[in-house]
Chains A and B, each alone.
Chain A
Amino acid sequence: MVPTDLRYTRTHEWVRLGGDAATVGITGHAQDTLGDITFVELPKVGAPLTKGREAGVIESVKAASDLISPISGVVASVNAALESAPEAINKDPYGAGWLYTVKAADASEADGLMDAAAYEKFLESESE
């Protein structure tokens, strides 16, 4: 079950809207596929992000993949705790394992993302 209050990308990031800035993380499925996460390269606070473009890199023992920005805007804060404890992403991908927050340039961009039901369907289709 994926949280119903979030929006999802086909590259397995989630975004939580609301408040001043949107919060971004990777999904439970993504952390599961990557395995033990050993390192995250997060964007710098103040850096401009473009929807669909690279925002950072996430590394596990056997893989490294790009973090794709689900939404355009300026980075407001990053989860500094991940620097010393990246395993938080494995343990709690939708909570303590959040990656960064972004001041969205245009919150309506998120409308194009999947809701929980659509993402679950997408996961099913991917596993086939």
Chain B
Amino acid sequence: MSSIIFEKSMPGRRGATFPKSDVPIADAIPKQYARTSPLALCELSELDVVRHFTALSKKNYGVDTNFYPLGSCTMKYNPKICEKIAALDGFASLHPMLAQLPGCGGFAQGALAVIHDLENLLCRVTGMDAFTLQPMAGAHGELTGMMIVSAYHRKNGAAKTEVLIPDEAHGTNPSSAAVAGYEVRTVPTDPATGLLDIGAFRGMASEKTAAVMMTNPNTLGLFNPRIKEIAEIAHACGALLYYDGANLNAIMGKFRPGDGDFDVTHVNLHKTFATPHGGGGPGSGPVGVKAFLEPFLPAPRVVKNDFFALDGNCPDSIGPVAPFYGNFSVCLKAYAYMLMTGGAGLAEVSEQAVLNANYVMRSLSGHYDVPHLKTCMHECVLTAKRQAERGVRAVDIAKALIDKGFHPPTVYFPLVVKEALMIEPTETESKETLDAFINAMIEIAEAAESGPKSLHAAPVSTPVGRLDETKAARDMDVAFL
């Protein structure tokens, strides 16, 4: 471990200086309001700080350093030009209030154009009629979507209390529905197909159902072809159909949620549209709706007449979900990415993402069990069941991969598959990289057969070994004070 930054502090040292005050020194803040406790921040030189962070960065895997096939996360390459564009002073230094001030709208026309155009592009990719860029992450998009659903039903005087969600769904789905005030009912997956159990679903849908949340392809990497039937059942009881765009990278140019009768969707710009994940964020989770739900979108909305302007006169709007227009610079990076791919490039993205996932699945199917051995979409789910019988669990395989220079796939998710290994290669990885990964996975499977014990010590090549999570939770040392 590098020492904690506060331990490097040297009283009197400075890392940033500011101009001398060119105005008179003001009277001190009245005692009653003034801070008396010490400001215990570090005192370091600029080089101290730069070295500290550089040392930390070397202890990280990123897409730029290693293959990162984390299922459900779409860890594709993040083009550098998008970073450069987001840093352009005309965008980076623009105060968001400018667009709302009288006489100042003309100062933000370029930024408003980006919002307007990106909303439009997202409509074309998804087949929805209108978008908002306000939600600041995927889960925030889900919550926004559920709040729109709720506002719609309230407006229609429909007392609906439940949201139906498949058991394989991401945890954010039930969590977002619950934060929006709904009771969550879990619909089982048909173990034979890996798809929603339509019989069970039909039995659970009722006049109480406010919405059905679906990810298609689902978290098992399988596309549900009976989506129209599901939509009919949902709509017949007055429920809306929600499309979780987590897996949009699989289907661009092949299927638009709008054509599958979905009413609301969110997309993750930090997955599908190549904006960086930032070690956990920031993301961006724009929400798209069919025309009948447009009045409920968060206000204000960007409109175009002779000029771009903001329209805050939206009486049915759920209100703002962000302080301004969402994570604008993330949106800008996604916009630049879409300029470069064009629609044809997005279709190519999905084709290659799906081919890469199938190639990995087929190449590993002799060595690992595949619960649903059929064509998958952009990700495949294997199980380490066979290896677990030899004492090598999914977590051991993950840690062994680390020693071979790969970021592990997602493990133990989806919950409906025991010892799950969920692999999403993405389209930006070459066949050479995939082959190297496949070889590593095969070597690990062979090691599990011959000498399973050797895998329990992994990883040995990292700055730390497996960490004591129980101690972490019991000691709760969450700040260096």
Which A residues are within 8 Å of any B CB, using their own CB? Answer: 36, 38-39, 59, 61-62, 86-87
Nearest first, the 9 A-B pairs at minimum CB distance are A38-B473, A36-B470, A61-B469, A38-B474, A61-B470, A61-B473, A38-B470, A39-B473, A86-B474
Q: Which residue of B lies closest to A85 (CB)?
A: B474
Q: In the complex the two chains form, what is the Cα distance from A3 to B257 in whole Å?
A: 55
Q: In the complex the two chains form, what is the Cα distance from A86 to B469 in whole Å?
A: 15
Q: Select the residue from A59, A61, A62 with max chain B CB neighbours within 10 A.
A: A61
B472 contacts which chain A residues (CB < 8 A)? 61
Interface 0/1 of B451-481, CB less than 8 Å to A: 0000000000000000001101110000000
A36 contacts which chain B residues (CB < 8 A)? 470, 473
Chain B: residues with Cβ within 8 Å of the partner, total of 5
B470 contacts which chain A residues (CB < 8 A)? 36, 38, 61
Chain B's nearest CB lies how many Å from the CB of A85? 9
B473 contacts which chain A residues (CB < 8 A)? 36, 38-39, 59, 61
Other CB < 8 Å A-B pairs besides A61-B469, A62-B469, A87-B474, 11 of them? A36-B470, A36-B473, A38-B470, A38-B473, A38-B474, A39-B473, A59-B473, A61-B470, A61-B472, A61-B473, A86-B474
A87 contacts which chain B residues (CB < 8 A)? 474
Chain B's nearest CB lies how many Å from the CB of A34? 11
Sample 11 A-B pairs with CB under 8 A, ordered by A number. Answer: A36-B470, A36-B473, A38-B470, A38-B473, A38-B474, A39-B473, A59-B473, A61-B469, A61-B470, A62-B469, A86-B474
Which B residues are within 8 Å of any A CB, using their own CB? Answer: 469-470, 472-474
Q: Which residue of B lies closest to A86 (CB)?
A: B474
Q: In the complex the two chains form, what is the Cα distance from A59 to B469 in whole Å?
A: 13
Chain B's nearest CB lies how many Å from the CB of A55? 20
Chain A's nearest CB lies how many Å from the CB of B178? 14
Chain B's nearest CB lies how many Å from the CB of A28? 18
Q: Which residue of A lies closest to B473 (CB)?
A: A38
Q: Which residue of B lies closest to A36 (CB)?
A: B470
A86 contacts which chain B residues (CB < 8 A)? 474
Q: In the complex the two chains form, what is the Cα distance from A87 to B470 in whole Å?
A: 10
Chain B's nearest CB lies how many Å from the CB of A58? 13
Q: In the complex the two chains form, what is the Cα distance from A87 to B471 in whole Å?
A: 11
B469 contacts which chain A residues (CB < 8 A)? 61-62
Q: In the complex the two chains form, what is the Cα distance from A5 to B241 in whole Å?
A: 51
Q: In the complex the two chains form, what is the Cα distance from A94 to B4 in whole Å?
A: 42
Q: In the complex the two chains form, what is the Cα distance from A36 to B474 in whole Å?
A: 10
Chain B's nearest CB lies how many Å from the CB of A54? 15
Q: In the complex the two chains form, what is the Cα distance from A127 to B209 in whole Å?
A: 34
A38 contacts which chain B residues (CB < 8 A)? 470, 473-474
Chain A's nearest CB lies how many Å from the CB of B218? 23
Q: In the complex the two chains form, what is the Cα distance from A87 to B473 in whole Å?
A: 12
Chain B's nearest CB lies how many Å from the CB of A53? 15
Chain B's nearest CB lies how many Å from the CB of A66? 14
Q: In the complex the two chains form, what is the Cα distance from A20 to B326 in whole Å?
A: 59
Chain A's nearest CB lies how many Å from the CB of B389? 15
Q: In the complex the two chains form, what is the Cα distance from A59 to B474 in whole Å?
A: 11
Chain B's nearest CB lies how many Å from the CB of A35? 8
Q: Select the residue from B469, B470, B472 with max chain A CB neighbours within 10 A.
A: B470
A61 contacts which chain B residues (CB < 8 A)? 469-470, 472-473
Q: Which residue of A lies closest to B412 (CB)?
A: A62
Q: Which residue of B lies closest to A59 (CB)?
A: B473
A62 contacts which chain B residues (CB < 8 A)? 469
Chain B's nearest CB lies how many Å from the CB of A63? 11
Q: In the complex the two chains form, what is the Cα distance from A105 to B271 in whole Å?
A: 54
Q: In the complex the two chains form, what is the Cα distance from A26 to B469 in whole Å?
A: 22
Q: In the complex the two chains form, what is the Cα distance from A61 to B470 in whole Å?
A: 6
Q: Which residue of A lies closest to B475 (CB)?
A: A38
Q: In the complex the two chains form, what is the Cα distance from A86 to B473 in whole Å?
A: 11
A39 contacts which chain B residues (CB < 8 A)? 473
Q: Which residue of B lies closest to A38 (CB)?
A: B473
Q: In the complex the two chains form, what is the Cα distance from A39 to B474 in whole Å?
A: 8
